[in-house]
Amino acid sequence: MNINGVEIDATFAEAFPMRGTRVIITAQNAKWARIAAETMTGFATSVIACGCEAGIERALDPSETPDNRPGVAALIFAMGGKTLAKQVETRAGQCILTAPTSALFSGLHEGEPIALGKNLRFFGDGFQIAKRIGGRRYWRVPVMDGEFLCEENTGMVKAVGGGNFLILAESQPQALAACEAAIDAMRKIPNVIMPFPGGVVRSGSKVGSKYKALNASTNDAFCPTLKGQTKTELSPEIESVMEIVIDGLTAEDINQAMRVGIEAACSLGPQHGIRRISAGNYGGKLGPFLFHLQEIMA
């Protein structure tokens, strides 16, 4: 398959089951809502070492938030329910409770409930107040700038992590430009995040390592500097490969994000150094969700 002169490999991205939730963070203005959300979703690129994968889904207009203030929707994913619940609660306490003017609400009302303010309320030292509105429970916790308002629970659902595609280019600047175009397009798709820095990962990995202590290691087949030392997947003109990883609430959400991202990258074409689109295929060792690139782009 060829799109605008860019070859689409006959391969698939391999993804795995996760648990996910959405939270809504509001503040006095959009600046502080985003600061709180960025802090909460920091150090959350990969479950390999971060415990969860998280990112900002989109900015919210005051008309879309529970308290009619500017807000941000963030998605958080983990490999299991207990881990997700712990990560959400810890990050809420350390990053949202502490952020000036912030409030925190559930962004998912279906699925299994996990704690938001259920335990954070104890920070109020007995001065906290519960309110039930529309069948949902909220906590008002006194803090030095006024009150921290937090919904008691949010919903946890089954989700999918690790959808991905690789952009193969003639140079590093060209690969990055294609990734930026792809991320701009993908951020318009709901229910997904691209958890790595700016949505892009240059240190794509394979399952396993020669070192027993590591579960993952550099994807040497796609490393340009290793063409002469390993079984390479790269032709001579490819000098840079970058990966975009997607987590989504459903497989279809990831499908849609991959489709628009690949289209955006291919729109640059070979005239801008973009030669191939491939994916992280681990031979079934990683997970049961297979995203076939040519089927997605058909």
- In which band, very low, low, confident or very high, does the pLDDT at 260 lie, cut at 50, 70 and 90? very high
Indicate which CATH number applies to the domain containing 251. Answer: 3.30.70.520
CB 179 within 8 A of CB 242: yes
Q: Are 167 and 145 within one domain?
A: no
pLDDT tens string 7-32: 999 999 999 999 999 999 999 999 99
135 and 194 housed in the same domain: no
Domain boundary among 157, 190, 217: 157
Question: What DSSP letter does each residue of 106-174 carry, written as one string?
Answer: ES--SSEEEESHHHHGGGGTT--EEEEETTEEEEEEEETTEEEEEESEEEEEEEEEEEEEEEEESSHHH
173: tokens are 């600047």
> What is the domain range of residue 131?
18-157
* Domain-ending residue, one of 128, 157, 186: 157
Average pLDDT over residues 215-243: 96
pLDDT for the residue numbered 280: 87
Q: What is the pLDDT of residues 77-134, one digit of tens each?
A: 999 999 999 999 999 999 999 999 999 999 999 999 999 999 999 999 999 999 999 8
**pLDDT tens digits for range 147-189:** 999 999 999 999 999 999 999 999 999 999 999 999 999 999 9
- One domain for residues 181 and 69: no
226 plus 165 within the same structural domain: yes
User: Domain check: are 152 and 164 in the same one?
Assistant: no
Q: Are residues 114 and 197 both part of a single domain?
A: no
Indicate whether 152 and 22 sit together in one domain.
yes
Q: Are residues 142 and 31 in the same domain?
A: yes
Q: Estimate to the nearest angstrom the gap between the alpha carbon of 11 and the chain centroid.
A: 22
Mean pLDDT for all residues in the chain: 96
Phi, psi of 183 (to 5 degrees): -65, -40
Which residues are CB-contacts of 197 (< 8 A; sequence separation ≥ 6)? Answer: 45
pTM value is 0.95
Residues 6+ apart with CB under 8 A from 91: 40, 41, 54, 76
> Do 97 and 120 meet the contact criterion of CB atoms below 8 Å apart?
yes
State the total domains in the chain. 2
Among 157, 172, 192, which residue terminates a domain?
157
Alpha-carbon span 219 to 209, nearest angstrom? 10
